[in-house]
Amino acid sequence: MDWLNPENVIAVATALLGVLVSAAMLWYERRVPPRRKRIGHRVQLDTPIGSDARNGGRANVRLGLFDETPGMSDATLVLLRVENDGAQAITSDDYTARGPHGLTVEFADRTVRAIAVTQSPGADHLMEHFSAAGGLQHRDGTIHLPRVPLNRGEHFKLLVLLTGAGVGSPVTVTGGIRDGKVRPNRAATPDEKPPLFSRAARAVTVALTACVITLATIIVREDPAPPMGCARGTLTVTGSTAFAPVVRELARKYEKDCPGATVRVDARGSTAGIRGLADAGAKSGKGSVAVIALSDGPKPGGYPQLRESRIAVSLFTLVVNDEVPVKNLTLADVRRLYRGEVTNWKQLDGPDLPVLLVSRDANSGTREVFQRRVLGRNEPAQSSRDCATKDDPEAAVVRCELDSTEQVLDTVARLPGALGYSEVRAGSDLPGLHRLAIDGRGPDVDRVGESGYPYRELEYAYTYGRPPADSLTSSFLAHLSRGSGQDVIRTHGHLPCMTPEGLRVCGAG
């Protein structure tokens, strides 16, 4: 899929993010009230009940108790709703006014004649607060309300009989709430559609829409640019033959994803790779060269210009020809074999076959790890060129040296009685041989941090100095240790250092 690259993934992700954020803002605006204390109030009714035609433009029709009463010709009724329309409950202590009063209601140019109070359903407890002792008082055109505690969504209403002015005269509610406010609100009428988005929600939606449109232009291109993180040029990766299968696969993937890049893999052993990198850097005189050297274990001393990166925990294994049915060796038996004390497999309860030791050359990191982690000493001297017969008749055991892991595996699979070593992935794929456990412990990448399996080492990547951030060297290093590179490393039987378990094991060294 040509469109599946980092830029297009970001474009699609941003589009999805825009949709999700818009939906979340809509849900929030509709479902979640502001996270603060708030009292809202509104006049729900303001109507004349007297006979004065000035109140409503014409005289009211009145029956029964609304018959004429002295001094009530300009009477009006006002229904005022006071509610907790915030997100938190309001207690008596939340009111900031002095004295017993919480809120003050003023009717401009009108005089309060009578007050009736009602509460919301299920809030009968509110009524005990509306008494003169509790702070409910009125004088002229002013009503002092007590400090009424209101749970979220609770309300009470005041039905006030007034005289002195017509309907529509201002009604003002004042007071304060700690960490909140008192403000007029309104209720939507049945015919009114509430807005889908608030001002903040509209701003977020517009911004995300602009991002989506901008990034959408990246998706369809006649001449697409390389994905983000790619670099052009030529790079040589040298060193470890054990890690070469990983690097070859990642090199092919990088070249496919990043047009204009060429990654050459020249695996010739860890030590030889370190020396080649140091020589290339010294000759260039530029402070950095397009070469990466991979090493099974840390570099030898004497190369201060080389900068290391820990890539993976590499697991290695002993491999033996299938004519030898042995599946496990003790660490002591492995050391006896390489000291020449065991020359025939029947000495280890195996078949009557001579032991043939197939080893790597002196440049091999796999050999160096084997000597340091398993044998605790160097291997014996080479005694054979064809790996089958002794060139030195005084040598205790047949031992040959080969240039690569592939040669070791082919030779062990071909010669009955042959014993060698390899990195794990390569050692598990060839017919004619099988892996050996050491002290009953096998090379298990999922248990590398706890099994105590000895034949393992950190895989290092070395560069000459610090490569520029925009260079192919720096880009391929990131490709090697992160993202899909981790999947390839694990597939080949290694543990990536940048995974949570790998960070712990690689950090411990």
Q: Which of 475, 499, 2, 493 is nearest to 251 (CA)?
A: 475
pLDDT of residue 164: 86
Percent of the chain predicted with pLDDT > 90: 49
pLDDT tens digits, one per residue of 57-85: 555 666 656 656 667 778 889 999 999 98
pLDDT of residue 53: 47
- Spatial separation of the C-alpha atoms in residues 67 and 58, rounded to whole Å: 16
pTM attached to this predicted model? 0.51
pLDDT of residue 225: 47
pLDDT tens digits, one per residue of 239-259: 988 889 899 999 999 999 999
pLDDT tens digits, one per residue of 446-487: 887 777 899 998 999 999 999 999 999 999 999 988 877 888
pLDDT tens digits, one per residue of 286-329: 778 999 999 988 998 889 999 999 999 988 999 999 999 999 99
Q: Are 420 and 476 in contact (CB under 8 A)?
A: no
The mean per-residue pLDDT over the stretch 212-233 comes to: 61
**pLDDT confidence tier of residue 214, bands split at 50, 70 and 90:** low
The packing angle between helices 199-219 and 6-31, to 10°, is 160
pLDDT of residue 509: 64
Count Cβ atoms below 10 Å from residue 365 Cβ, excluding itself: 31
**Of residues 32 and 346, more confidently modeled:** 346
**Of residues 40 and 425, more confidently modeled:** 40
- Amino acid present at 338: Y
